[in-house]
Amino acid sequence: MNRIRTGMIGGGQGAFIGAVHRLAMRFDNRFDLLAGALSSQPERARQSGLELGLAPERCYDSHQAMLQGERGRADGIEAVVIVTPNHLHFAAVRDCLQAGLHVICDKPLTVTSAEARELQALSQAQQRQLIVTYTYTGYPMLREMRERILRGDLGALRLVHVSYTQDWLATPLEQQGQKQASWRTDPAQAGAVGALGDIGVHAYNLSHFVTGQRPSRLSADLARLVPGRRLDDHAQVNCRYANGARGLIVASQVAVGRENSLRVQVVGEHAALEWVHEQANLLQWFPLGQPGQTLSRGGPGCGDDVRRLSRVPSGHPEGYLEAFAALYRDAAELIQHGTPCPVLPTVDEALHDQLFIEACLRSSAEDSRWVSL
């Protein structure tokens, strides 16, 4: 299968989200990262690119340089992934679309709706895809939730409650110079909203993702609960839908005890569904007047899309793959550098396990007699 020739803007050394995008690109091996404008600092851009195995001439200083350089190549990039700070998204997306590239952009796409409208029109005019990585929409059981709601299993909807709560901004980290906190709480860099834009938008996005519906009216209360904070760190938004249904969006970054809690509850006239991030492999299904059911990713009752998306069998939490990859990471260290790794299973483990099995067979064959190992 041909892979998509891809470039990246932003995401140089030390950038968390850029590395996550690249890892996600490798999962199914359908993208080749071939070019990058990974930093606005030329030397850092170059070093970052080389580390990732890019050809030196395809490590660019700016996205403009990349667009120009790639245009002339037979093997030039077809798509671009944008992982710059939020306020730089707009220009990068615009330029890439104009250059005829497909764009995958980290969320939020823009900081104003006017900019979003302009990019929407441009994407249509250029007939190029513009994709925004709202990560949570990729969870198989949220897709199952959506499927059940859209095909009418719940009847008319009545309640759509989504909350996204964290606690990492419960203290004024920005006053201690913590980088992530600083830009997120600074109106100059983050725009007019804090928690609402950072995580509330995920909650709102999911409320539409799973129901296919948007509220017609809302009443919002944005709060700055940590003294000295300059943007909202907590928001409660009541919503009303055209059919009278009620919505509630809660976003908080001061909810002590919640690391990254996302909870989606949709209630209809005949049934309800609930999903929580902490148990992302499960979906609770409550048919009115019957016992509640727990659906497990890929288990009985799940639709085809869940099966298509599942990389590991039902009952394996999705972290199973990370566990697998952790072994490969340790193995690479051991093989390349000879770094001893006491936790990496080797033949010694395998031998002992085989001795255990053989002892079990002896004991069981002799009516469970105690045998030595």
Phi, psi (5° rounding) for residue 291? -65, 145
Strands 102-106 and 79-82, sheet pairing: parallel
Rounded to a whole number of angstroms, the minimum distance from the CB of residue 324 to a second copy is: 4
List 38, 66, 99, 104, residue binding a second copy (CB under 8 A): 104
Token couple for 243:
């059919």
**Interatomic CA distance for residues 37 and 52, integer angstroms:** 12
Rounded to a whole number of angstroms, the minimum distance from the CB of residue 44 to a second copy is: 17
Nearer Cβ to a second copy, position 73 or 117?
117
**Interatomic CA distance for residues 317 and 296, integer angstroms:** 10
In a 13 Å sphere around the CA of 265, the CA atoms on its Cβ side amount to 13
Neighbours of 344 (CB within 10 A): 15
List 57, 131, 179, 307, residue binding a second copy (CB under 8 A): 131
Site for a second copy in 298-327 (CB under 8 A): 299-301, 305, 309, 311-327
Rounded to a whole number of angstroms, the minimum distance from the CB of residue 124 to a second copy is: 9
**Interatomic CA distance for residues 202 and 134, integer angstroms:** 7
Site for a second copy in 55-74 (CB under 8 A): none
Rounded to a whole number of angstroms, the minimum distance from the CB of residue 36 to a second copy is: 15
Nearer Cβ to a second copy, position 44 or 94?
94
Token couple for 281:
């492999």
- Structural element, H or E, at residue 107: none
Cis ω for the linkage preceding 317 (within 30 of 0): no
List 9, 59, 132, 160, residue binding a second copy (CB under 8 A): 132
Site for a second copy in 156-185 (CB under 8 A): 158-159, 166-167, 170-171
Site for a second copy in 189-248 (CB under 8 A): 192-193, 196-197, 200-201, 204-205, 208-209, 214-223, 225-226, 232, 234-238, 240, 244-246, 248
CB 129 within 8 Å of CB 216: no
Amino acid found at 122: L
List 85, 129, 152, 187, residue binding a second copy (CB under 8 A): 129
Tell me the CA end-to-end span of the chain in Å, nearest whole number: 51
Residues 6+ apart with CB under 8 A from 172: 226, 227, 228, 229
Q: What x/- string results for residues 267 through 296 when contact with a second copy is judged by CB under 8 A? A: xxxxxx-x--xxxxx--xxx-xxxxxxxxx
Site for a second copy in 80-99 (CB under 8 A): none
Rounded to a whole number of angstroms, the minimum distance from the CB of residue 330 to a second copy is: 8
List 41, 55, 71, 353, residue binding a second copy (CB under 8 A): 353
Nearer Cβ to a second copy, position 65 or 299?
299
Q: Which range, of 7-15, 38-46, 62-70, 257-265, touches a second copy by CB under 8 A? A: 257-265
**Interatomic CA distance for residues 243 and 368, integer angstroms:** 67
**Interatomic CA distance for residues 130 and 341, integer angstroms:** 44
Nearer Cβ to a second copy, position 55 or 355?
355
**Interatomic CA distance for residues 264 and 278, integer angstroms:** 12
Q: Which of the 8 DSSP states describes residue 198?
A: I
Q: Which of the 8 DSSP states describes residue 3?
A: P
Q: Which range, of 18-26, 36-44, 61-69, 182-190, touches a second copy by CB under 8 A? A: 18-26
Q: What x/- string results for residues 19 through 58 when contact with a second copy is judged by CB under 8 A? A: -xxxxxxxxxxxx-------------------x-------
